[in-house]
Amino acid sequence: MVAALFIVGGLLFALRGTENGAPANNVSIEGGVQVVEIRAKGGYQPRNSAAQAGVPTIVRFKTSGTFDCSSFVRFPSLNITQNLSASGITEIDVGTPAAGALQGMCGMGMYRFQIDFQG
């Protein structure tokens, strides 16, 4: 019984990654452009991403039957608003961000996510 509790506890600790605010491994470089991939449906996953500052960056949203408010994304600090396709991929060019946090949210501001650009 005690061993089972340790195993379950360890699994919960290992899986909590994006749920507790830890950055996910969802950033890649494609042809010299940094790509941050985020799933949009009932919110945004992962909610926290870590990327490199000073690199041209695209945020790639993946949707699959997304009809809730997360199908509309805003980056208020960049004055960017974009409707996402209900299913498929929508890419948003966020330029070459400096070090700092980029906040994103749905149209209602209910679902939020953050990309931390590190120098």
pLDDT in tens, the chain (119 residues): 544 334 434 433 333 344 455 667 899 999 999 999 999 999 999 999 999 999 999 999 999 999 999 999 999 999 999 999 999 999 999 999 999 999 999 999 999 999 999 99
Residue 54 tokens, joined: 């000073």
Distance between CA atoms of 87 and 84, rounded to whole angstroms?
A: 8
Q: Tell me, yes or no, if the pTM score tops 0.85.
A: no
Give how far Cα 87 sits from Cα of 1, 14, 43, 102, Å. Answer: 44, 30, 15, 24
Contact 73, 40 (CB under 8 A): yes
Helices (H), the chain: 2-15
The per-residue pLDDT for 21 is: 58
The per-residue pLDDT for 67 is: 95
Distance between CA atoms of 85 and 104, rounded to whole angstroms?
A: 17
Q: What residues form DSSP beta bridges with 86?
A: none
The per-residue pLDDT for 24 is: 77
Contact 57, 37 (CB under 8 A): no
The per-residue pLDDT for 6 is: 40
Domain 2-118: give its CATH code.
2.60.40.420
